């Protein structure tokens, strides 16, 4: 056992147990669900095997559309009996090849599991099926004065958000999925169903299995229900845009804002290249230069005070007068433009594949890391606009590449590797929110070293036949 989980045996373990009979498993699942809920059509399989980035996709052998935990349990039991891999699929918005099927198998699409099972307004929590999306949940909660704050940009499924430990623009104030998932219903590799956590706000009972599955990316089990913390909709909200003479000035403003304890809800950095792209794509007229998008939540008086304090900090770092938006439609337009950043840059790079990055460093090293990254890209003549959730030290560079051009591929991969090495050297991580999936497995080993062996031991204990999303995260 010690040898089988050693970090030196990463590739040798990358095998699915022999004897798999995919056709027999597909027939059994079709008999269970009916022909209309199982597809082997090439277009459906390809959609469920490739994300929007340059990660190499791989189609599953079939896609099964589940409507309940019982459906998922029955499918997993069939696959366990036949030794067939199982891959969970929510809305397909993840960016690191999480739902590709390099070993084939059956993809379980949970998008039809879209029921909000309960809402407890007095306790500010709810329970939802895994296929409910964040926008659907917030629309349903609005009349009760509640909302769920985690906003990764895409209208992702809440089960997928839990599985990838998603965060996004509001994380600086509300945390990530790790802090906001209270409990889970999970179908294990052998078909058993477990429930982790309770509705209590704290517990000292047993291992924290909820946190084990949050971020496990479907490699330990399939999440079918999620218990979530909710928050009251703030009475006052103000969002604003402020431009700066340099990226360093943006980062200094962010660091000083956090260090002074100003409870900023969102603070986003856009470099000049990204502003250009958004102006063209979203029909905006922002001054072209490094820019911060900010938002404050609270009482009207509190928001006014926070906004004034931020304005003084920004002015001290050379920031412009802030263009504030307090009406909901104006704020929605502002943040929609921010969420369209990926598509805005992609529209300028037709025919090229995108490589999404998301390093995260301590905020004291943020300016240094961003500036060194910009210098590296300029030196190698690589287009890489930068946007970041800089309140928690997380930033993204979207790199574009023609995979068929070996020289260009080499240059882009080199910049990608140097950026991750830079973040790790500064005490950071290779991924602040996108996760490991298939795309960052080599960097997980570089970041965690021998601790990956412990992760692999957990994987083998819970999934000894390596059937749950094989080839992803820390798993074999």
How far apart are the two ends of the chain, measured CA to CA in Å?
A: 14
Q: What are the residue boundaries of the structural domains of the chain, listed by start?
A: 7-111, 116-232, 236-343, 349-448
Whether residue 353 contacts residue 53, with contact meaning beta carbons closer than 8 Å, is answered with yes
Strand partners, 176: none
- What are φ and ψ of residue 103, in 5° steps? -110, 15
Q: Are 70 and 110 in contact (CB under 8 A)?
A: no
Query: What pairing do the DSSP bridges indicate for beta strands 353-356 and 181-188?
Result: unpaired
If 0-12 CB within 10 Å is exposed, 13-18 middle and 19+ buried, where does residue 323 land? Answer: middle
Residue 206 has pLDDT above 80, yes or no: yes
Phi/psi-derived region of residue 104, left when phi > 0, alpha when psi is between -120 and 50, beta in every other case: left
Residue 5 has pLDDT above 60, yes or no: no
Between the CA of residue 404 and those of 54, 306, 384, what are the distances in Å?
12, 50, 19
What's the pLDDT tens digit per position in 55-82? 889 999 999 999 999 999 999 999 999 9
Q: Give CA 148 to chain center in angstroms.
A: 16
Q: At 8, is the secondary structure helix, strand, or coil?
A: helix
**What is residue 20's predicted lDDT score, i.e. its pLDDT?**
56
Pairing state between β 291-298 and 236-243: antiparallel
> If residue 375 lies in a helix (H) or strand (E), which one and from where to where?
helix 366-379
Please tell me the predicted confidence (pLDDT) of residue 437.
95
Q: What is the pLDDT of residue 138?
A: 97
pLDDT of residue 403: 83
Q: With a cut of 60, say whether residue 144 has pLDDT above it.
A: yes
Please name which of 184, 191, 219 lies closest in space to residue 70, comparing C-alpha atoms: 191
Are 386 and 273 in contact by the 8 Å Cβ rule? The answer is yes
Cβ 103 vs Cβ 469: under 8 Å: no
Q: Tell me the pLDDT band of 8, cut-offs 50, 70 and 90.
A: very low
The reply to whether CATH 3.30.43.10 applies to domain 7-111 is: yes
Specify whether domain 236-343 bears CATH 3.30.70.2190.
yes
Mean pLDDT (the chain) is 93
Topology of the domain comprising 116-232? 3.30.465
Q: What is the DSSP string of 381-427?
A: T----EEEEGGGTEEEEEEEE-TT-HHHHHHHHHHHHHHHHHHHHTT
SS3 assignment, position 379: helix
Is there a contact between 76 and 189 (Cβ–Cβ < 8 Å)?
yes
Smallest CA-to-CA distance from 246 within 216, 202, 205, 290 is with 290
Confidence (pLDDT) at 153: 87
Q: Give the domain 349-448 fold.
A: Alpha-Beta Plaits (3.30.70)
Where is 227: in which H helix or E strand? strand 221-229
Count the alpha carbons within 13 Å of 330 in the hemisphere toward its beta carbon.
12
Taking a C-beta distance cutoff of 8 angstroms, is the pair 475, 459 a contact? yes
* Radius of gyration over every alpha carbon of the chain, rounded to an integer in angstroms: 22
Lowest average pLDDT, out of 5-14, 60-69, 161-170, goes to 5-14
Cβ neighbours, 10 Å, residue 31: 11
Q: What is the SS3 assignment for 469?
A: coil
pLDDT 10s digits, 389-447: 999 999 999 999 888 899 999 999 999 999 999 999 999 999 999 999 999 999 999 99
Read off the tokens for 89.
Answer: 């699929």
Assign residue 466 a region (left: φ > 0; alpha: ψ between -120 and 50; beta: otherwise): left
237 SS3 class:
strand
Residue 52's pLDDT band (boundaries 50, 70, 90)?
A: confident
In whole angstroms, give the CA distance from residue 87 to residue 222: 8
3-state class (DSSP) for residue 91: coil
Q: What is the DSSP letter of 32?
A: H
Decide whether 116-232 matches 349-448 in CATH topology: no
Provide the pLDDT for residue 11: 35
Tokens of 309: 């304090």
Q: How high is the pLDDT of residue 307?
A: 95
Bridging pattern class, strands 323-325 and 181-188? unpaired
Q: What distance in Å separates the CA atoms of residue 145 and residue 26, rounded to the nearest whole number?
A: 45
């Amino acid at each position: 056992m010690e040898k089988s989980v050693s970090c030196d045996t990463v590739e040798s373990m990358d095998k699915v147990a022999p004897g798999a009979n995919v056709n027999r498993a597909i027939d059994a699942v079709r008999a269970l669900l009916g022909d209309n809920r199982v597809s082997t059509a090439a277009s459906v399989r390809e959609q469920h095997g490739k994300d929007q980035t340059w990660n190499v996709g791989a189609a599953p052998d079939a896609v099964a559309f589940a409507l309940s935990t019982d459906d998922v349990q029955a499918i997993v039991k069939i696959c366990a009996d036949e030794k067939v891999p199982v891959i969970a699929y929510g809305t397909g918005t993840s960016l690191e090849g999480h739902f590709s099927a390099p070993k084939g198998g059956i993809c379980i699409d949970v998008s039809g599991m879209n029921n909000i099972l309960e809402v407890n307004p007095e306790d500010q929590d709810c329970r939802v099926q895994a296929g409910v999306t964040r926008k659907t949940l917030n629309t349903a909660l609005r009349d009760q004065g509640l909302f769920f704050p985690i906003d990764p940009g895409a209208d992702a499924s809440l089960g997928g958000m839990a599985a990838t430990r998603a965060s996004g623009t509001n994380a600086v104030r509300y945390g990530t999925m790790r802090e906001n998932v209270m409990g889970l219903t999970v179908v294990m590799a052998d078909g058993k169903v477990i429930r982790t956590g309770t509705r209590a706000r704290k517990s000292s009972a047993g291992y924290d299995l909820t946190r084990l599955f949050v971020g496990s990316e479907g490699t330990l089990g399939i999440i079918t229900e999620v218990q979530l913390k909710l928050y009251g909709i703030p009475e006052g909200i103000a969002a604003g845009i402020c431009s700066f003479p340099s990226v360093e000035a943006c980062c200094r403003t962010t660091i000083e804002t956090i260090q002074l304890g100003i409870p900023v809800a969102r603070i986003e950095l856009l470099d000049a290249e990204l502003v250009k792209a958004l102006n063209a794509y979203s029909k905006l007229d922002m001054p072209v230069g490094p820019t911060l998008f900010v938002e404050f939540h609270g009482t009207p008086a509190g928001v006014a005070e926070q906004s004034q304090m931020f304005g003084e900090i920004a002015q001290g770092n050379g920031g412009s007068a802030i263009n504030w938006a307090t009406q909901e439609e104006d704020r929605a337009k502002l943040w929609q433009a921010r969420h369209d950043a990926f598509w805005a840059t992609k529209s300028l790079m037709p025919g090229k594949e995108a490589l999404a990055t998301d390093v995260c460093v301590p905020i004291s090293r943020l300016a240094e890391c961003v500036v060194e990254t910009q210098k590296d890209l300029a030196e190698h003549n690589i287009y890489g606009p930068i946007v970041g959730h800089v309140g928690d030290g997380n930033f993204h560079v979207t790199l574009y590449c023609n995979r068929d051009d070996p020289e260009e591929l080499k240059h882009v991969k080199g910049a990608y590797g140097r950026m991750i090495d830079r973040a790790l050297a500064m005490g950071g991580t290779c991924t602040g929110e996108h996760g490991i999936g298939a795309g960052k497995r080599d960097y997980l080993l570089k970041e965690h070293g021998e601790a990956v062996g412990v992760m692999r031991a957990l994987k083998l204990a819970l999934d000894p036949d390596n059937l749950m999303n094989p080839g992803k995260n820390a798993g074999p």
